[in-house]
Amino acid sequence: MSAAKQYIDFYGEVRDVIARRSCAEVNAQREAAFETFSAKGFPSQKVERYRYAKVDADFSPNYGIALTPLDGPLPPYCFHIADAEPRARVLYNKVADATDSIVALNTMLCVDTLVVHVPRGIRVEHPIQISNILKGEQDTMVSRRILVVMDEMAEADIIITDRAASQSRFMTNQVIEVVMKDDSHLNLYEVEETHLLCTRYSSVFVQQGRNSHLHHTSLTLFNGHTRNRLDVLLQGEGSEVTANGCIIADKMQRVDNNTLIDHQAPSCQSNELYKYVLDDNAVGAFAGKVLVRKGAQKTVSQETNANLCATSSARMYTQPMLEIYADDVKCSHGSTVGQMDEAALFYMRQRGIDEQEARLLLKAAFITEVIETIPLESLRDRLHILVDKRLRGELSKCEGCKLC
Amino acid sequence: MLEIKNLHASINGKEILKGISLTVKDGEVHAVMGLNGAGKSTLSNVIVGHPSYEVTQGTITWNDKDLLSLKPEERAHEGIFLSFQQPVEIPGVSMVNFMRAALNAKRKYQGLEPMPAGDFLKLMREKRSIVELDSKLANRSVNEGFSGGEKKRNEIFQMAMLEPTLTILDETDSGLDVDALRVVAEGFNKLRRPESSAIVITHYQRLLDYLKPDVVHVLIDGRIVKTGGPELAVEIENRGFDWIKEEAGL
């Protein structure tokens, strides 16, 4: 409870300030979240979905807590929650797991919420880009909240990037809720390119209606400590989800992805591919559960986690899980952890490619499979370049960013 | 000129090469024949600097340079090329990127600028035709899903791109049908320049019919026990190795 206490005390001091800066829908959820967080504190590693995280340690630094509303011009179809349509606003905190104390902490401290609302039948031509830029001289924690509502037959690409513009210690506790109504299509990309002093807790919750399609890609290119949770509830018949991850970590970086694909309706499909390249003393974890409920017949599901540990000191924990309560399904799951292919390295060196370059080519080749699945061509091309730069150690944090 | 003197080499502490001496002058083709396990592949691996092999004694000089002090990639830049007995598949690395990296690494070593992309692709097309390598293969990942014959043709294609001055063919004929063997051998011959030399490791006369070696060595139990002209290969084809073993008192 030690780390939790500072947040409880802080909330006690500022609850009125937060409430004044917020709107009714957000305030309505706050006290219940406070109760949940006060009662539970931070989850220990005994809690199944936090087995690989060090939550207490991650939240214990004495962060200044940001209570500022959203800043900057909003892209099309994006709103401050107070300005969003009531039918979108009421979905706030209806999809997230309110019993989770990390989510509760976000609900308790979040001041503003970005609502992305794409109305029925609208196909958004250009990708909606949401840039999160961590900036400031003080160690800071931000509680970021996004609510995406895709009405019937709506289509959009959303790119969410995390960057850090100053070398302070940052903690991001983000919750994204996504409601996808029938026949909607969403490509959701999350790209983290921060620095070693950044910690990110991200919890993404998705509800999918009939014949809706979600393509989610989570890219961790540079970070400190990252813990991503993704819960996708396939509630409507015929809905499909692709959930992929591309993780590159070295030094002392830590990346933990924890996913749940919950097949609640028949004839749904899920595809999951997470690939990690770990170097130096990096630690990776992947725990992914695919749950096929009774009645979710004709489910097709595939879950793969493949990992490359380039050094003997890099560590990977992998736990693919499959729970099936229906009898007419096609499901597979698996994971691999491998080392550098020494035969391939030597083959390349014999052709004159030096060892460092050969290693880099092998790492890039391994991770390319995930990048290739990205539907948005311009992003795919850019990511190929970014991955190459990242592996060469040339990634400049703010490159391509127009805001700073 | 390649000069190997009293070369001893081992893998995992087991001595495989037990004192090999061999001189290959510029322009010469040497064949190394011998039974399985005689040390033929070890010899080629040691020349190109495979990290699994330890040289315990002896020297190798290449154009007056101490070859053993060079890294594998530096030996490649110095013009040494090994056509692998089992070419390695590298999923996710395209032939184009692989060859570009290799060629430009060599150019960098020679103090040249990277080759412009247009020139490079033109060169790829030109060299591909020599070994009748399908353009589809050139666009795929390195050796991935290639048949045995395609892999060997791909080795000769890479040789064509890199223009080595010493080529080692390590059982390039294994796993090839007669037509593929002809394409590979003729491709090799077309690429040979007067000053370039080769070491051809093989069990059979068939490849040597095409490549016309100047010198034939017989390697048994880590030693060269007999050296002769091209007629020696013919005799081995007819009589096997037993008579050589007897002659050498093995």
Element (H, E) at A344: helix A342-350
Q: Do B102 and A362 touch (CB under 8 A)?
A: no
- Domain coordinates in residue numbering, chain B: 2-248
Residues of B in contact with A370 (CB under 8 A): none
Q: Looking at the complex, does the CB of residue B98 fall below 8 Å from at least one CB of chain A?
A: yes
Q: Is the pLDDT of residue A401 over 50?
A: no
Judge whether A70 and A114 are in contact, CB under 8 Å: yes
Judge whether A154 and A121 are in contact, CB under 8 Å: yes
Confidence of residue A396 (pLDDT cuts 50, 70, 90): low
Q: Looking at the complex, does the CB of residue B71 fall below 8 Å from at least one CB of chain A?
A: yes
Judge whether B42 and B82 are in contact, CB under 8 Å: no
Of B72, B106, B158, the CB nearest to A346: B72
Suggest the residue from A308, A348, A350 to mutate for an interface test with chain B (most B CBs closer than 10 A).
A350
Q: Is the pLDDT of residue A12 over 90?
A: yes
- At B43 the pLDDT is 96
- At A400 the pLDDT is 47
Token pair in block for residue A175: 């919750």
Residues of B in contact with A341 (CB under 8 A): 88, 90
How far is Cα A392 from Cα B79, in angstroms, rounded to an integer?
Answer: 28
The single-letter code of the amino acid at A99 is T
For the stretch A292-316, pLDDT in tens is: 999 999 999 999 999 999 999 999 9
Suggest the residue from B88, B97, B141 to mutate for an interface test with chain A (most A CBs closer than 10 A).
B88
Q: Do A348 and B50 touch (CB under 8 A)?
A: no
Of A346, A351, A364, the CB nearest to B162: A351
CB atoms within 10 A of CB A222: 24
Residue A305 falls inside a structural domain: yes
- At B135 the pLDDT is 80
- C-alpha distance from A271 to closest chain B C-alpha (Å): 20
Q: What range does the domain containing A85 cover?
A: 2-392
Nearest CA in chain A to B47: A350
How far is Cα A245 from Cα A286, in angstroms, rounded to an integer?
Answer: 10
The single-letter code of the amino acid at B128 is R
**Which of the residues in chain B have pLDDT under 70?**
none
The residue-averaged pLDDT of A370-390 equals 94
- At A403 the pLDDT is 42
Judge whether B20 and B222 are in contact, CB under 8 Å: yes
How far is Cα B215 from Cα B2, in angstroms, rounded to an integer?
Answer: 14
**Nearest to A278, CA basis, from A344, A215, A338, A190:** A338
Q: Do B88 and A343 touch (CB under 8 A)?
A: yes
Higher-confidence residue of A404 and A102: namely A102
How far is Cα A392 from Cα B151, in angstroms, rounded to an integer?
Answer: 30
Of A343, A355, A365, the CB nearest to B93: A365
What CA–CA distances, in Å, run from A229 to A80, A274, A317, B166? 24, 13, 16, 56
Judge whether B118 and B143 are in contact, CB under 8 Å: no
Residue A88 falls inside a structural domain: yes
Q: Is the pLDDT of residue A336 over 90?
A: yes
Judge whether A276 and A284 are in contact, CB under 8 Å: yes
How far is Cα A383 from Cα B190, in angstroms, rounded to an integer?
Answer: 42
Sheet of B2-11, strands arranged across:
B14-24, B2-11, B53-62, B65-66
Number of domains making up chain A: 1
Confidence of residue A176 (pLDDT cuts 50, 70, 90): very high
Q: Do B76 and A350 touch (CB under 8 A)?
A: yes
Residue A372 falls inside a structural domain: yes
How far is Cα A6 from Cα A59, in angstroms, rounded to an integer?
Answer: 10
- Residue bearing tokens 């011998």: B34
**Nearest to B1, CA basis, from B18, B34, B24:** B24
- At A72 the pLDDT is 81
- Residue bearing tokens 């020349």: B47
- At A29 the pLDDT is 96
Residues with Cβ within 8 Å of A276's Cβ and at least 6 positions away in sequence, in order, are: A245, A247, A248, A249, A255, A284, A286, A305, A306, A307, A308, A316
Q: What is the CATH number of domain B2-248?
A: 3.40.50.300
pTM, full prediction: 0.90
Suggest the residue from B142, B143, B154, B166 to mutate for an interface test with chain A (most A CBs closer than 10 A).
B142
Nearest CA in chain B to A362: B93
How far is Cα A306 from Cα A274, in angstroms, rounded to an integer?
Answer: 6
Residue A266 falls inside a structural domain: yes
Query: For all residues of chain A together, what is the average pLDDT?
Result: 94
Reported ipTM: the value is 0.96
